[in-house]
Amino acid sequence: MEREPSASSTADVREDLLVDRARRGDADAFGRLYELHLDRIYRYVYYRVGSSNEAEDLTEHVFLKACEAIGHYESRGLPFAAWLYRMAHNAVIDHYRARRPTTSIDETFDVEDERQNPVASAEALVDREVLKVAIKRLNSDQQTVILLRFIEGLSHAEVGKILGKSEGAVRVIQHRALGAMARFLRSLPSAGTADA
């Protein structure tokens, strides 16, 4: 009995065809790739720079560079998204080198959900602020791993390909980052022990 291809494998084949067409100069194919990956790349960049204006500029820079370099793109067994994330990662690094000193995650968790009641909104804001502070205390690689793993939902292997590190190295970075965040969160005074 023959199995039907899964939706993800069919999507991968379609993306591979788009990449092949784009490599041969098909602007429409590159436009479709742009549409497929724009939100993910923007979100990654936004979580690193914390400003929507800067994230928009850097994301457009990433896609401009990708458009210019698509003719030289080689899969090498990696998904096309890994190539884009790598460009985005490098763009963020270049951005911070040019603008030191700047924090990388200032407004990351400032989006409010108007459907929540005021008490829930206040509690969520406090939780986001504490989490933002915990993430900002991490080094750049740790921040990147945490964002790609838990915000973007990528696997250890995918993150490793983007960062040019082994899957094991990504696991170690994640373990150390989570440990550092846990230590920081444990060091905070609990709300129940505050003096009245």
What CATH code is carried by the domain that includes residue 24? Answer: 1.10.1740.10
Residue 100: pLDDT above 80?
no
Global pTM? 0.63
Q: What is the pLDDT of residues 6-56, one digit of tens each?
A: 455 566 668 889 999 999 999 999 999 999 999 999 998 988 888 889 999
Residues 97 and 173 in one domain: no
Residue 4 maps to a domain: no
Domain that holds residue 173: 112-189
Question: Quick one: CA torsion of 19, 141, 136, 58, rounded to 10 degrees?
Answer: -30
Residues 137 and 174 in one domain: yes
Residues 93 and 53 in one domain: yes
Residue 104: pLDDT above 90?
no
Q: Which stretches within 106-165 are classed as H helix? A: 118-136, 140-146, 156-163
Domain count of the chain?
Answer: 2
Residue 2 maps to a domain: no
Residue 1: pLDDT above 80?
no
Residue 43 maps to a domain: yes
The arithmetic mean of pLDDT across residues 91-107, rounded, is 67
Residue 196 corresponds to which tokens in the numbers above? Answer: 């009245």
Residue 123: pLDDT above 50?
yes
Q: What is the pLDDT of residues 149-182, one digit of tens each?
A: 888 888 898 888 888 899 999 999 999 999 898 8
Average confidence score pLDDT of the chain: 80
Q: Note whether 173 and 141 are within 8 A (CB).
A: yes
Give the span between the Cα atoms of 36 and 81, in whole angstroms.
10
Residues 19 and 68 in one domain: yes
| pLDDT value of residue 195 | 43
Residues 91 and 152 in one domain: no
| pLDDT value of residue 130 | 80
Residue 126 maps to a domain: yes
Strands (DSSP E) found in 2-93: none
Q: Which stretches within the chain are classed as H helix? A: 7-23, 27-49, 52-69, 80-99, 118-136, 140-146, 156-163, 167-187
**pLDDT top residue among 1 and 73:** 73
| pLDDT value of residue 105 | 52
Residue 42 maps to a domain: yes
Residue 19 maps to a domain: yes
Confidence band, pLDDT 50/70/90 cuts, at residue 196? very low
Confidence band, pLDDT 50/70/90 cuts, at residue 137? confident
Exposure string over 9-30, b if 16+ CB within 10 A, otherwise e = eeeeeebeebbebbeeeeeebb
| pLDDT value of residue 187 | 87
Residues 47 and 122 in one domain: no
Q: Note whether 48 and 147 are within 8 A (CB).
A: yes
Residues 87 and 125 in one domain: no
Instruction: Give 121: exposed, middle or buried? Use CB within 10 Å, 0-12, 13-18, 19+.
Output: middle
Residues 17 and 85 in one domain: yes
What number of H helices and E strands is found in the chain?
A: 8, 0
Single residue among 76, 102, 128 that ends a domain in this structure: 102
Residues 18 and 85 in one domain: yes
Give the span between the Cα atoms of 143 and 145, in whole angstroms.
6
